Structure formats: structure tokens, C-alpha cells
Amino acid sequence: MSRIGKLPINIPAGVTVNIEDNVVTVKGPKGELTQAVNPSINVTIEDGSIHFAIDEKNDQVEQKQKQAFHGLYRALINNMVVGVSEGYKKELELVGVGYRVSNQGNLMEFTLGYTHSIFLQLPPEIKVETKTERNKNPYICLESCDKQLLGLVCAKIRSFRKPEPYKGKGILYIGEKIRRKSGKAAGAK
């Protein structure tokens, strides 16, 4: 049995959880999320908390896979509960001369040293804020109730200009440390 899967999820005030036909729907002040759950996992609501148990009668999935699902679905639904009650936030910065970002609603425009600008249309579930201040790196703040979607969008933005180890340029998470390399000039002696 999974250690993570055994832990119950407390439902905070203002959040409602509905379970129908192995589909869990979580509603809260920040939004609504749904997740389909494998039939080998039983999801129940007792005393204001969500509990997960492995269905031993279901023989369609082998035991090792059931244990993996036990922890997986508990973690996914916990992320949903936290997302609709508190929300998730990721912050990125653009490090490099001439790197700029701007947004008009959910349409973002990046200038990253290529011959063209890059445009990215964000999903409506994500709120974006960009700042460009003098003598500071351009800043992007993304907020959403869906942790998976937010991570995917951040990974897509980073893929436009990954951080490189020689000059430290690229799109980085705030507080991320890049392991720097010395380059060939330092190794020639």
C-alpha cells in the first residue's frame, strides 16, 4: 500500500467535492477541476476528508500497478483541492540583452534574440502578468488553479530560450541557480 495514498485529504471551507462514476469534480473559489480515477481505486468522502483505498476485487489491473495508482490519484486530487482553494503561482525572468516580453490579455509576445517575435496564446484558465522595469530583468508571473497546466505552459515558455551555462542567458524560474561553466578560454592554459 502506498504511504502517500493512505493519507486523507482534508477538504477546506468553501470547497465542494463530488464523485460520480470514477470522476472526481472539485469546485472552489479559484475554479473547477475534474479528474477521472482508475476503477481499481475507491474514492470516498468521510468526515470532511477524502479517502483512497485499493479495490482488491478488481482483477483488471495487477497489484503493483494498483499501488502506483493509489499514490498517484491521491496526489492529483490533493493538487486539485489546493489549486481551487489557494491556487498556484510560477514566476519566470528573462536574462539576456534585448530580451523582452509583453502581453495583451492572454496573448504573450516574446523578443528573445531571434529574427522574429514569438507569440504564445495562453489557455483562459491561466492569468498572466508581465513587468519590464529599468535595470531589471523582464518578469513573468503566471497563476492558475490547475498545477499540471501551469507546469506545461511554463515548460513551453522556457523551451523558447533554455538557460545556457556559459553566459547564464535564457528564461529562468525566479531563484533558479544555473551551474556555470568556464568556457574554452579558461581551459586552454
For residue range 23-76, list pLDDT tens digits in order: 999 999 999 999 999 988 999 999 989 999 988 877 777 888 888 889 999 999
Q: What is the 3-state secondary structure (H, E, C) of 40-88?
A: CEEEEEECCEEEEEECCCCCCCCHHHHHHHHHHHHHHHHHHHHHHHCCE
**Domain 3-85 has what CATH class?**
alpha beta
Length of the chain: 189
Alpha-carbon distance of 114 to 160, in angstroms, equals 10
Looking at the chain, the whole-number percentage of residues with pLDDT higher than 70 is 97
Query: Using the 8-state DSSP alphabet, how is residue 148 labeled?
Result: H
pLDDT digits (tens, 9 = 90+) for 85-127: 999 999 999 998 999 999 999 999 999 999 999 999 999 999 9
Domain boundaries, the chain: 3-85, 88-173
CATH topology of domain 88-173: Outer Surface Protein A; domain 3 (3.90.930)
Alpha-carbon distance of 116 to 112, in angstroms, equals 9
